[in-house]
């Protein structure tokens, strides 16, 4: 019996039965078919980013969750005399600053509120004033709230100032159209278990070859050495250490399903429809979204807690869990809120059933539906 809940969380997320089935094999890490599959996955990831090897880009796969991929770039790319500027409007930006601190890198942060886009005038000024800054890092979709940062505009500015640009596109890559060249990205990081709808187990970095070739010897760790991982993949097609074989088999299938859905635009269309249906339904129940529609992505949506004191989030969460739905607690520093992911193998029917379960849960808790404004 399948007692899996539907995951309305931004990774791990609900995957298709066929993606799960693809893992029913034990692949040997040196099996030529497995090595060919890795090569093929790397090429297809570049295509998703609108680039290719011929155009001067490389895809590097790395064991571990998305954070490992981000830390691989942060700890491998910045030279000892370099300095990183990090744009922060949520926990994933903060996490990059923590990494820079751990590795003893010179770093500076430009923070804006969690519901505010970065101020490009301030960035422009900082890059003019501080010539020691060599790298700029930003998060595309800040999953803390679901805010979508203007990555192309930031990229254009960074390029004009001739600095390197690192983008955490964890929760957007594969569903939000993105062209690495147009956005001036030197490094893009994402992972297997977000919009591509694979299972957890590895992250990947898309990078400009010219930039990558210059970072040999900069890594501060062995296992997260991005340059060495790239060289390993280039030399014998393999991961340096035990590869996440099952996760790669699942990912190969997930990529096929993404292509069958119409690629990034097709998938983006489904997620956008999920998001619109969710927001309309939640508004009808009296919930208020945290972000304004102009800054909101269709990846994940943050809602304020209802003001009625009878609302208890722990109870709300538990009742939804019992009904078969997993939502996501909030991560905001100051406000009480919760989040609902719109990504994964979910569509209109699943969003509708979640909305029904939310309405039932409010009723059961003695709350008025719709909630009063
Ligand atoms: C999920 C996520 C991460 C971290 O990924 P893990 O797989 O949890 O390590 C980093 N950045 C963003 C924007 C994310 O959404």
| Residues near 131 by beta carbon (within 8 Å), at least 6 away in sequence | none
Atom of ligand 1 nearest to the CA of 200: 7
Using one digit for the tens of pLDDT, what is the confidence trace for 22-75? Answer: 999 999 989 999 999 999 999 999 999 999 999 999 999 999 999 999 999 999
User: Average pLDDT over the chain, rounded to whole?
Assistant: 96
Does residue 143 surpass a pLDDT of 70? Answer: yes
- Report the residue among 68, 86, 92 best suited for mutation to probe ligand 1: largest number of ligand atoms under 8 A from its CB: 92
> Quick check: 117 and 150 in contact, CB under 8 A?
yes
Q: What is the DSSP string of 219-239?
A: -SSSTT-HHHHHHHHHHHSS-
Tell me the CA–centroid distance for residue 51 and ligand 1, in Å. Answer: 23
**Of all protein residues, whose CA lies closest to atom 5 belonging to ligand 1?**
66
- Report the residue among 66, 190, 302 best suited for mutation to probe ligand 1: largest number of ligand atoms under 8 A from its CB: 66
Q: Show the ligand 1 pocket: residues with CB < 6 angstroms.
A: 10-11, 65-67, 92, 139, 143, 168, 170-171, 191
Atom of ligand 1 nearest to the CA of 193: 7
Using one digit for the tens of pLDDT, what is the confidence trace for 145-165? Answer: 999 999 999 999 999 999 999
Task: For the chain, give percent helix, strand, coil, nearest 5.
Answer: 40, 15, 45
pTM above 0.95, yes or no: yes
Q: What's the mean pLDDT in 348-373?
A: 95
pLDDT confidence bin for 11, thresholds 50/70/90: confident
Using one digit for the tens of pLDDT, what is the confidence trace for 186-213? Answer: 999 999 999 999 999 999 999 999 999 9
Q: How far apart are CA 206 and CA 372, in angstroms?
A: 47
DSSP 24: -
Q: How far apart are CA 358 and CA 355, in angstroms?
A: 5
What percentage of the chain exceeds 70 in pLDDT?
99
Tell me the CA–centroid distance for residue 201 and ligand 1, in Å. Answer: 12
> Quick check: 216 and 227 in contact, CB under 8 A?
yes
Does residue 183 surpass a pLDDT of 70? Answer: yes
Q: How far apart are CA 347 and CA 306, in angstroms?
A: 26
> Quick check: 141 and 302 in contact, CB under 8 A?
no
pLDDT confidence bin for 291, thresholds 50/70/90: very high
What percentage of the chain exceeds 90 in pLDDT?
95
Does residue 84 surpass a pLDDT of 60? Answer: yes
- On the question of a cis peptide bond just before residue 59, with omega within 30 degrees of 0, the verdict is no
156: closest CA among 145, 167, 171?
A: 167
The bridge status of strand 135-139 relative to strand 164-168 is: parallel
Domains of the chain: 6-10+262-364 (3.90.1150.10), 18-260 (3.40.640.10)
Q: What is the dihedral of CA 343, 346, 347, 348, to 10 degrees?
A: -110
In this predicted structure, what is the pLDDT of residue 172? 98
**Of all protein residues, whose CA lies closest to atom 2 belonging to ligand 1?**
170
Tell me the CA–centroid distance for residue 10 and ligand 1, in Å. Answer: 9
In this predicted structure, what is the pLDDT of residue 333? 72
In this predicted structure, what is the pLDDT of residue 373? 78
Does residue 245 surpass a pLDDT of 70? Answer: yes
Does residue 1 surpass a pLDDT of 70? Answer: no
Tell me the CA–centroid distance for residue 91 and ligand 1, in Å. Answer: 10
Atom of ligand 1 nearest to the CA of 11: 1
Does residue 332 surpass a pLDDT of 70? Answer: yes
Atom of ligand 1 nearest to the CA of 171: 15
SS3 state of residue 84 = strand
Tell me the CA–centroid distance for residue 65 and ligand 1, in Å. Answer: 8
Tell me the CA–centroid distance for residue 126 and ligand 1, in Å. Answer: 27
Tell me the CA–centroid distance for residue 194 and ligand 1, in Å. Answer: 9
Q: Where do we find the tokens 């893009």?
A: 188
Diameter of the chain by CA atoms? 64
């Amino acid at each position: 019996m399948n007692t899996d809940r539907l995951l309305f969380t931004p990774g791990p997320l609900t995957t298709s039965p066929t993606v799960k089935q693809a893992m029913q094999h034990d692949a040997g890490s040196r099996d030529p078919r497995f090595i060919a599959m890795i090569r093929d996955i790397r090429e297809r990831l570049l295509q998703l980013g609108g680039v290719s090897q011929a155009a001067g880009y490389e895809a590097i796969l790395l064991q571990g969750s998305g954070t490992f991929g981000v830390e691989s770039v942060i700890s491998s790319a910045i030279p000892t005399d370099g300095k990183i500027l990090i744009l922060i409007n949520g926990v994933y930006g903060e996490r990059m600053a923590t990494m820079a601190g751990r590795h003893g890198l010179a770093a500076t942060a430009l923070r804006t509120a969690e519901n505010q886009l970065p101020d490009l005038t301030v960035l422009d000024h900082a890059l003019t004033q501080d010539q020691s800054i060599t790298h700029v890092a930003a998060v595309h979709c800040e999953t803390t709230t679901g805010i979508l940062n203007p990555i192309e505009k930031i990229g254009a500015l960074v390029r004009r100032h001739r600095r390197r640009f690192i983008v955490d596109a964890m929760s957007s890559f594969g569903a939000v159209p993105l062209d690495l060249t147009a956005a001036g990205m030197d490094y893009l990081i994402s992972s297997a278990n977000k919009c591509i709808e694979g299972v957890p187990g590895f992250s990947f970095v898309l990078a400009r070859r010219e930039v990558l070739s210059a970072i040999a010897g900069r890594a501060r760790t062995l296992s997260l050495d991005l340059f060495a991982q790239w060289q390993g993949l280039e030399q014998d097609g393999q991961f340096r250490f035990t590869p996440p074989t099952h996760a790669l088999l699942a990912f190969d299938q997930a990529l096929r399903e993404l292509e069958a859905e119409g690629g990034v635009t097709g998938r983006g269309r489904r997620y956008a429809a999920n998001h619109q249906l969710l927001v309309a339904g939640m508004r009808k129940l009296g919930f208020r979204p945290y972000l304004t529609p102009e800054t909101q992505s269709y990846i994940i949506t943050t809602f304020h807690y209802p003001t009625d004191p009878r609302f208890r989030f722990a109870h709300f969460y538990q009742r939804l869990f019992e009904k078969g739905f997993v939502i996501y607690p909030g991560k905001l520093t100051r406000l009480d809120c919760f989040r609902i992911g719109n990504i994964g193998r979910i569509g209109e029917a699943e969003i509708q059933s979640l909305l029904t379960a939310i309405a039932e849960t409010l009723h059961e808790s003695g709350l008025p539906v719709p909630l009063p404004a």
